[in-house]
Structure 1
């Protein structure tokens, strides 16, 4: 199969990822932080080593504030719902937010009376930053934004937004679900207070892994309460990090795979333009040559993710995806991509879009086959 659904979950993974997971299951197996015997210590060392590697790679000052979750969604929920909210508090987000940010925000709006401003993006960086500045009030308690759109691949000006947030002493939460593993991210240099990312997308790690990295003094309350291994004598949740926000047994095999993925990522950090980004540009230019194909290009200058969003004539996106799967053995994503605000802006709520996305394991021959398939599908529907 030609797998062009990398923005949803990467496939295949580097061999080192599976090998590390198998080793964790077969040779460690113990519960990290829940015993003093050798296997428990080995598991705990693996967890600590992964925190330290993630903190180093992403510029988080304190590895104890590099927290493990089942996915980026859980990490974002902890970041957003972990604040103490009151009626009239205010949050700024963007109109490109995935539901992993939007729904927690709408939850605190419904439960606590928090006001939310969604900032539009039209490719004009200065205008975007001006709208952020104009939206800040005395009640603004958080700015939460995606680093890049999961629909179009547009990368947003996080660093410039962070500069505004810092001047007003407002924490900045960034969802790096589409950027982690594709472009360099340094929390200290960029001014990011909280960074959430999954292991299973651009980092090429296993599903069921995600992290929330917190820089500096951000006061978050835990969403879960329970066993933490340490501080068991205390009836209340410990105040110390990471135990404060991590209750229950961690996914040691998954974290072992994530550590291997992070190590693999280190070997690619020096690439100026990742080959998957170049492939996406080849596909985009090819699709634009097919009459009847509408492309939804990234808006703005500079970097964008290896994602190409498009539609064919007036065919529902899901129908095209089904044809690609059943007749051409090609996997893509179609629909609304859990990002309805984006589709409202693109005016594609009625049928969604087809999304092709790439990793380093894709190649130009696959892109050529894909273009041939889209050409045939387009021509066949023109005849109907």
Structure 2
């Protein structure tokens, strides 16, 4: 592959730290058996891989018991487990207009079945949520509040701690979608008051695709999404009650989870605070550089305000998809265009008719790369 300037980290981080691939190859060779399904040494080693990764993730999110973390294939699966497992007939849910389709579609599926009711809290064009409006939406039957930690279009960071306080006041469960924040923003589930945290393995945690998981508070019991073999309590008809087996039916992705463990260790070594600061400085550089382009509009928080490592923008008179295509073909710069699986956020930003171009940086992005992006967009918008 030709040398690429990769600015699509909001979709998946790349390249991974070398230790990630090394851990995966080691697991494939020395821990290739089914974890929890045998007492021979390779099965035991495979179980150890899962538990060691669970411990690293627990350390990252300040989780007391690593077994309260269940692995899955991605954030979407984790969100489906949380949403479908927690909700009952007649429940009311509050979400926000910053949500990804991995939240909205499961909620709308249950709503169209007549099982639940849903309200969406507005966010403004910068991604700011009005907590007073949210509080007015609570009902006696509001069982669940679902909230993205950071918008994958706007980059805005929502006030999770304050939302958690509202949930406590009204006796509701708080589910946080950490797709854009895990490994980038410091997350302490105890301090923030998070009941369930859905996270990807392949983005800010620097692991491979096909990995992710869900933290479930110890006092919270939700129904499993999958039913099947767990290697424990095999004589029982129902899923075992013990965690994490209750939520991990079937053979897990041991090799991928080994890579995820290595990625999390890398994040812990760098620290999310340092990663955030690095990415924030790069986004400020992008915004300052693009601000001189005629007709450009950048979405989300203004320059100088907190945001995660992405900048979405539109240029008047220019097609977002064509601009992203030319960045790739002419300059070797990978960005994303379109609607980013978040139509409600585009509605808030006023870009439902155009979509947007999104450039997103990562732990390994450089000033030189973002400067090349600025030059490329400047040149393309001049000649088109």
TM-score category (smaller protein): over 0.9
Aligned pairs for 1:20-35 (under 5 A) are 20-35=23-38
Alignment partner, residue 334 of structure 1: 337
1:286/1:95 Cα in 2 relative to 1: closer, same or farther (>3 Å)? same
Tell me how far 1:313 sits from its aligned partner: 2.3
Q: Distance in 1 between matches of 2:305 and 2:189?
A: 20
Tell me how far 1:56 sits from its aligned partner: 2.1
Alignment partner, residue 49 of structure 1: 52
Alignment partner, residue 279 of structure 2: 276
Tell me how far 1:328 sits from its aligned partner: 0.9
Out of 186, 189, 209, the position equivalent to 2:188 is 186
Aligned pairs for 1:13-162 (under 5 A) are 13-87=16-90, 89-122=91-124, 128-162=130-164
TM-score, normalised with respect to structure 2: 0.95
1:278/1:307 Cα in 2 relative to 1: closer, same or farther (>3 Å)? same
Instruction: Indicate if the aligned counterparts of 2:125 and 2:348 stay in contact, CA closer than 8 A.
Output: no
Aligned pairs for 1:310-325 (under 5 A) are 310-325=313-328
Tell me how far 1:301 sits from its aligned partner: 8.4
1:191/1:299 Cα in 2 relative to 1: closer, same or farther (>3 Å)? farther
1:273/1:220 Cα in 2 relative to 1: closer, same or farther (>3 Å)? closer
Instruction: Indicate if the aligned counterparts of 2:275 and 2:363 stay in contact, CA closer than 8 A.
Output: no
Q: Distance in 2 between matches of 1:251 and 1:83?
A: 25
Tell me how far 1:107 sits from its aligned partner: 1.0
Structure 2: gaps of 5 or more residues: none
Alignment partner, residue 198 of structure 2: 196
Alignment partner, residue 208 of structure 1: 210
- Secondary structure of the residue that 2:376 maps to in structure 1? helix
Moved more, 355-364 or 308-317: 308-317
Tell me how far 1:314 sits from its aligned partner: 2.0
Out of 361, 365, 375, the position equivalent to 1:362 is 365
TM-score, normalised with respect to structure 1: 0.95
- Secondary structure of the residue that 2:307 maps to in structure 1? coil
Q: For 1:340-372, what per-residue CA distance to the aligned partner results, in whole angstroms no more than 9, with x for missing partners?
A: 001111121122000000012111111111111
Moved more, 193-202 or 292-301: 292-301
The number of residue pairs the alignment matches comes to: 380
Q: Distance in 2 between matches of 1:70 and 1:293?
A: 37
1:29/1:238 Cα in 2 relative to 1: closer, same or farther (>3 Å)? same
Tell me how far 1:273 sits from its aligned partner: 4.9
Q: Distance in 2 between matches of 1:349 and 1:210?
A: 30
Q: Distance in 2 between matches of 1:187 and 1:61?
A: 10
1:372/1:125 Cα in 2 relative to 1: closer, same or farther (>3 Å)? closer
Moved more, 328-337 or 286-295: 286-295
Alignment partner, residue 373 of structure 1: 376
- Secondary structure of the residue that 2:264 maps to in structure 1? helix
Moved more, 251-260 or 367-376: 367-376
Q: Distance in 2 between matches of 1:149 and 1:166?
A: 23
- Secondary structure of the residue that 1:196 maps to in structure 2? strand
Alignment partner, residue 172 of structure 1: 174
1:213/1:205 Cα in 2 relative to 1: closer, same or farther (>3 Å)? same
Instruction: Indicate if the aligned counterparts of 1:313 and 1:378 stay in contact, CA closer than 8 A.
Output: no
Q: Distance in 1 between matches of 2:382 and 2:111?
A: 47
Instruction: Indicate if the aligned counterparts of 1:2 and 1:330 stay in contact, CA closer than 8 A.
Output: yes
